[in-house]
Amino acid sequence: MRNCAIYSSQFDLEQLYELIQSIYPQAVIQRREDQTHIQVIQKKWFSKKTKGFNIMTSQTHPEEFSTMIRGMLGFLSQIEGRNAALQEKVLIKCSTLNMVIGIETEEDISEEFFNELLQLAEALDAVIFWGGGSLLNAQGQLLLDVNGESEVEDYTVTAHTSLLDDSRPPSVDGAERKARSERRLEEQGIPFNPNLPARAGEADVTIRTEEEVAKRAVALCIAALKGECLGSGESDDDTAELVQEVIDKYDASSFFTPDETSFLNQPGAEQQEIIRFSWGYEAYHVMLWALGYVEELDAPTALCNVSKDVGYLQQKDNFAAFLSEANLRSKDEILEEADLIYRYNWVCVNSRIKGEEPPAGLNPGVAYERHRALNWLICYLDQAWDEVRTDT
């Protein structure tokens, strides 16, 4: 057996390197400069064995990692597990993962090498994807295979403290917020996941400043504008001229992320990028709500009214005017919506995994963009806009 990968919610590459050094104290260990590949060379009298550890994390490869985890969750969700409660916990664990270590070996994984991998998995509190679709715990016991079988009756979900809102007992306000969100979903006839934890309470959350939110709103609107223009058939030159005119009007050249800057600076764009940035209007809508321009956020079922939303900015002569009329909502209001969209988005993701239409007319694209925007507003994992995750 050569096909094996270790998945962990940890993402400290230096910690991983030190663990491998401790497991192979006599070996020659080489690490790529970007720390995403480690090679272990074990020399004996007349032979040499090489083992490779190919590493990808949610920080080194955010898009690829997110896509991989969604695929993994989809695969595991479709299995008809004999222990539904155990399977649910396995899925929750997988949703917290931050790192995958692909194992490279010149020959089948021996019992000795397997035991070394278990040492690594236990130290990283990891799970092991083994062979043709079996998931093992850090002790090598079967958690779930393609036939729905398992060797254990229960599983304790743990994850990196930065990922689990319930890594400590939930705050009173966080628990109450969760209960209100679940009641709202129940009233709308939307099946929810009661195992999703309460999110962080007010005392543990920092909200972005009013100026930060206003700048993010402008940046999102301008990037979406380029996507909209190109998507509707406007020429590259006319689009670039219009975008620059808007940037100059709001003195917005410093507002953009590296990803947005790359998109705005290139002539034209690929269709995939045009679509991706056009969806930014939905995140812009959330920023307008947070700034008090939009009265309320309805259930994520319909696209925002783009012309109306753009009008809030278009009617202002400059950024200072847009900012002066803003009134940032309270932390409590923002946390309320952040908790609710967390649960809405889980419903959409779960429906996609099962190949079903989301209930109650929920729009997965709208839910995702709102979740991303609200996670940014509450400084989820202290991530910059380009790296914001929408863990469910």
What does each of the 392 residues of the chain score in pLDDT, given as a tens digit?
Answer: 457 899 998 888 888 999 999 999 989 999 998 899 999 998 876 678 899 999 998 888 887 888 888 788 878 877 888 888 888 888 888 888 889 999 988 778 888 889 999 999 998 889 999 877 789 999 999 999 988 999 998 888 766 545 444 444 567 888 899 999 999 999 999 998 887 778 888 888 999 999 999 999 999 999 999 999 999 999 999 999 999 999 999 999 999 999 999 999 998 889 989 999 999 999 999 999 999 999 999 999 999 999 999 999 999 999 999 999 999 999 999 999 999 999 999 898 888 877 889 999 999 999 999 999 999 999 987 888 988 878 76
**Gap between the Cα atoms of 221 and 255, Å rounded:** 11
- Using alpha carbons, list the distances in angstroms from residue 373 to 79, 203, 273: 32, 20, 18
Q: Which of 323, 319, 345 is nearest to 190 (CA)?
A: 345
Give the number of other Cβ atoms within 10 Å of residue 318's Cβ.
11
Question: What's the sign of the alpha-carbon dihedral 4, 59, 368, 260?
Answer: negative
- Tokens, residue 107: 């020959």
- Using alpha carbons, list the distances in angstroms from residue 358 to 95, 338, 348: 19, 19, 6
* Helices and strands of the chain, counted as H and E runs: 14, 8
Helix residue ranges per DSSP H, 78-143: 84-95, 111-123
**Gap between the Cα atoms of 87 and 77, Å rounded:** 8
What are the structural domains, with CATH classification, of the chain?
Answer: 4-144 (3.30.310), 165-392 (no CATH)
Burial 353-363 (b: 16+ CB within 10 A, else e): beeeebeeebb
**Gap between the Cα atoms of 106 and 48, Å rounded:** 11
**Gap between the Cα atoms of 271 and 55, Å rounded:** 30
Burial 50-67 (b: 16+ CB within 10 A, else e): ebbbebbbbeeebeebee
State phi, psi for 6 to the nearest 5 degrees.
Answer: -110, 130
Residues 6+ positions from 212 with CB-CB distance below 8 Å:
none
- Using alpha carbons, list the distances in angstroms from residue 269 to 247, 261, 272, 273, 281: 18, 12, 8, 6, 17
Q: Which of 32, 33, 36 is nearest to 59 (CA)?
A: 36
Torsion of CA 273, 279, 280, 284, to 10 degrees: 170
**Gap between the Cα atoms of 209 and 154, Å rounded:** 43
pTM for this prediction: 0.63
